[in-house]
Structure formats: C-alpha cells, structure tokens
Amino acid sequence: MSLFDATAVTPPLPCSRCGERVAATSLFCPACGQSMTRPLPTPAPLEPEQIPVHSEEPSESASTDPLQRATGWLRRSLNLGRKPEGERPEGSGVVADLDHPTEAMSLFDIEEAERAGSNPPRKATSPVRFLLKFASGLTFTVGETPGIIGVKPLPEEPEEGRQRLFLDDETDTVAPEHLEFGVKRGVFWVKDLKTVAGTVVEEPGSPALQCIPYDVYPLVRGSQVRMGNVAFTLH
C-alpha cells in the first residue's frame, strides 16, 4: 500500500470573486482575500443599459495642470472667472466668447484679488489732539509729536521731531526736563525722566500711582498728572 494516495488530493477550486485557483487547504484567496469557507455570491452581470457611459469631454478635475486643479475651487468661490451670458446686464453689448474659456490664474493674481476684496478703502481720519490743562490756567494743545515738559528755557530754534513745553514753576519742584510725553496708536502716554520730586498719575476711578523713572504710562482722557507741586489734567 502506498503512503501517498493521489486520488485523495482535492484539486484547487476557482475563487467566486476573481476566478483565481485556490488550494483546498487555503481559507482565503491569495489574490483578492475572498473567504473560501463562506464565499460571497458572484455578482450578477450588468445589463447593457446599466453600464455607465463616460463622457469624452475632459472635466476640470481631470485636468493635467496641477495649478489649475489646485486653484479651481478657489476661482469658483471667488467668482473670478467670466460671467455666463445669462448674468450679463441687458444692453451692455458684450457677447460671451464661448470659444475661449476662463484662463488659469496664478497664485499671485489670486492673492491680489483676495487682498482687494478683504481690504476696503480706509476713510481719512483727523489727527489726534490732546489738551493739557494746568491748575494755573495754562493750557497746551499737543498732537502725535513727542515732547518734554520742564522748566528748561525753550531753544532758539525748534528741535526736529520733538516739542518742548516750558513751565514757570515758583515752587522749584519741576526739573528742567521733568516729563516726556507722546502718543502711540491714539493713546497718550507719559514717562518720568528720573526726577527728584517724581511724577504721579491718577486715572478717573483709580488710585494715584507713583511713576517709575523711564517707564511708560498710558493714560485716558480725564487723568491727572502731578509733577512735584505742579499738576495738569489730560483732555
């Protein structure tokens, strides 16, 4: 008796999905992964009228230009292409050129169009002005040009890019260059120049605050600034 019986060997069976010949001892088809123990039924062939017909006209998604495919959705959302003939106003006399479709736009053109649509023209604004009203009745109107307040006499020629406000202090508590001021983004600020008498600022509804030399203190209108024994209110 032979140890190997050729008649007992089961021949390979075809896969119900892909038709690949699969050994009887295999649980899955090596080509498509179909289960051989619980195979799915063979799909019924499609009728001729059920076979989808593909149009020969190339679509925008099938374009070979990577830039056109990448920016196509953006051009449609921004409506940067040519308007269809039905959207043109009557009597304009413009005829749509159907033989020349919308051309692809560069990234630079798209960025420029986005900036033009998101940045409306700015309205002209008047320059910012502040009024410094001292307790003695003296007043100064200042703008965005920075300056210095003190008892130092004014120079014969004005300094470029800086203004000086002269005070006649009888109490001798204001330094020659006591306080520096300026405007940043429409907000008035002051800075003590390391004086002996110091500078105190007090905003409406807030306690008085002793200024640290060379630190910038932004103020609101209605605030009071004391330089030694001399004070002014910001309007």
Domains in the chain, number = 3
Residue 4 located in a structural domain: no
The pLDDT score that the predictor gives to residue 58 is: 54
Residues forming a β-bridge with 166: 150
Residues forming a β-bridge with 230: 227
Q: Please state, as a whole number, how many other Cβ atoms lie within 10 Å of the Cβ of residue 218.
A: 14
Residue 52 located in a structural domain: no
216 and 140 co-located in one domain: yes
Residue 20, class by beta-carbon neighbours within 10 Å (0-12 exposed, 13-18 middle, 19+ buried)? middle
48-104 tens-digit pLDDT: 666 666 555 555 445 566 666 666 666 666 665 455 555 555 555 545 454 555 566
162: Cβ–Cβ under 8 A, 6 or more apart, which residues? 145, 146, 147, 148
140 and 222 co-located in one domain: yes
Q: Please state, as a whole number, how many other Cβ atoms lie within 10 Å of the Cβ of residue 188.
A: 21
111 and 135 co-located in one domain: no
* Structural domain containing residue 111: 63-85+101-116
The pLDDT score that the predictor gives to residue 50 is: 61
135 and 214 co-located in one domain: yes
184 and 147 co-located in one domain: yes
Residue 200 located in a structural domain: yes
**Burial profile 121-131: b = 16 or more Cβ within 10 angstroms, e = fewer:** eeeeeeeeebe
132-163 tens-digit pLDDT: 999 889 999 999 999 999 998 888 777 788 89
- What's the pLDDT band for 131 if we cut at 50, 70, 90? very high
The pLDDT score that the predictor gives to residue 157 is: 78
Domain containing residue 148: CATH number: 2.60.200.20
| Pairwise pLDDT comparison (41 vs 226), residue with the higher score | 226
Residue 125 located in a structural domain: no
| 182 contacts 189 by C-beta, under 8 angstroms | yes
30 and 72 co-located in one domain: no
Residue 92 located in a structural domain: no
135 and 180 co-located in one domain: yes
